[in-house]
Amino acid sequence: MHRQSMMQPGTLEMLILKTLKRFGPLHGYAIAKSIQQASEDVLQVEEGSLYPALQRILLKGWVTAEWVQAGPKRRNRIYQLTKDGRNQLTAEISEYRRVSQAIERVIEPA
């Protein structure tokens, strides 16, 4: 509800999808760490906000989740990209490119 985020709404979802596409199926903790590492800690996501985002894209059908036993007393929920998610990612990335290039063209000549 009151997430302090410097990201646009929807960006986190795109990053999750991208991470899953690049590394294959992962659990939440691993997704959070990969995003932080890949962005060289620029994107300091409040880690917990990952989970509402994961719930949203689960409902949209862009990822599926499966519980995997990880030790005697613990199991992890592993997320995997679906075909819908892959399409969504492609669409979002090209949209993102278009917008950021446009923004770049506006600020570049300065």
Partner 1 sequence: MALFGQFFRRLAVLLHRDRLDRELEEEIESHLELQIQDNRENGMPEPEAGASARRQFGNAALLKEASREAWGWRWLEQLAQDLAYAARIMRKNPGFTAIAVVVLALGSGANTAIFTVVNAMLLRPLPFRDAHQLVSIAEINRPKGIEGGWVSPGSYLDWRDRSHLVQDIGAFESQPMTLTGAGDAMRLNGVHATASLLTTLGIRPVLGRLFTPQEDQPKGNAVALLNENLWRDHFGGRSDILGRPIVIDSKPYTVVGVVACDIRLDQEPWDVWTPLGLGPDDLHSYRGFWLFTIGRMKPGVTVDQARAEMRAIGASIYRRDPELAGYEVTTETLSDKVVHGIRPELLLLSAAVGLLLLVACANVANLLLARAMQRGREISVRAALGAGRWRIVRQLLTESLVLALLAGAAGLLLAYWAVNLLYGWMPQRMQTGVRPDVDLAVLGFTLAVSLGTGLLFGLAPAFRAAKVDLVESLKESSRSVTFGRGRLGGALVIAEAALAVVLLTGAGLLIRSFVQLLSVNPGFRPERLLTLKVPLPFEKSSARVAFYEELLQRVKALPGVRSAAAANYLPIYGIGPSIEYAVEGSPWKGSGAFVGTRNVAPGYFETMGIPLLKGRTLDLHDDSKGTRLAVINETMASAGWPGEDAVGKRFKLNPSINRDWTTVVGVAGNVKHFGLDGKKWPEAYFPELGWGTMSLVVRTSADPLALVPAIRAIVRGMDPNVPVADVRSMEKIVTDSVAPRQLSMILVACFAGLALALASIGLYGVIAYSVAQRRHELGVRMALGAVRGDVLRLVLARGTSLTLAGLALGMAASLAATRLLSGMLFRVTFLDPLTYAVVAVTVLAAASAAAYIPARRATRIDPMEALRYE
Q: Of residues 10, 24, 39, 61, which one binds partner 1 by CB under 8 A?
A: 61
Q: Does the protein bind partner 1 through residue 55 (CB under 8 A)?
A: yes
CA dihedral 21, 27, 30, 35 (to 10 degrees): 50
The identity of residue 14, as a single letter, is M
Q: For residues 102 and 108, what is the distance between their CA atoms, to the nearest angstrom? A: 10
Q: Of residues 22, 23, 24, 75, which one binds partner 1 by CB under 8 A?
A: 75
Q: Does the protein bind partner 1 through residue 43 (CB under 8 A)?
A: no
DSSP state of 6: S
Residues of this chain that interact with partner 1 (CB under 8 A) are 1-3, 27-29, 32, 46-49, 51-56, 58-61, 67, 70, 74-77, 84
